[in-house]
Structure 1
Amino acid sequence: MSKTVYEIVEHDGGWAYRVDGVFSETFPSHALARNAADRAANEQTVPGESTDISFEDKEGRWHDEASRGSDRPETDVEG
């Protein structure tokens, strides 16, 4: 099982959470950013329906694969 970490950081004059180098919207306080990260992390663990997905890799090649709805990552919020 993979693990996704939401990190609370100062960003753009406020606070945001960052996942794999991508920032959320900016929040005026650490507490609001933390609450948003907690909600997002919890939602990411909810199982869904299995579906086919397409994605582009770092070299620009497209791939198709089946994504199991029960294959959800472990999540954590830090900061």
Structure 2
Amino acid sequence: MARVTYLVVEHDGGWAYKVDDVFSETFPTRNDAHAAAARAAAEQRVPDEDRVISYEDQNYRWHEETVQGGDRPETDVAD
């Protein structure tokens, strides 16, 4: 199972959370950023319905596949 970690960091004169190299909006306090990260992490764990998705690969070919809505990552928040 995949694991996603939301990391709370100083950013743009305030605080943000990031996943890999993607930052959230900036929050005025560390506590605000941590609370937002905790909400985002919780939302990632919520199962959904199975869906058919379409995507284009690096060779410009389109693919269609069914993804399972219950296949959700484990999440955590780190400061």
Counterpart residue number, 2:50: 50
Cα offset for 1:55? Answer: 3.2
Deviations 1:12-38 (A, max 9, x none): 111000012100000000000000000
| Secondary structure of the structure 1 residue equivalent to 2:54 | strand
AA aligned to 2:76 is D
Cα offset for 1:60? Answer: 5.7
CA distance in structure 2 between the aligned counterparts of 1:53 and 1:43, rounded to whole angstroms: 20
Counterpart residue number, 1:63: 63
C-alpha RMSD of matched pairs (Å): 1.4
| Secondary structure of the structure 1 residue equivalent to 2:27 | coil
Sequence identity percentage = 59
Question: How high is the TM-score relative to the length of structure 1?
Answer: 0.89
Aligned length: 78
CA distance in structure 1 between the aligned counterparts of 2:24 and 2:15, rounded to whole angstroms: 9
Counterpart residue number, 1:13: 13
Q: CA 1:65–1:37 in structure 2 vs 1: closer, same or farther (change >3 Å)?
A: same
Counterpart residue number, 2:26: 26
Cα offset for 1:56? Answer: 4.3
Question: How high is the TM-score relative to the length of structure 2?
Answer: 0.89
Structure 2 unaligned spans of 5+: none
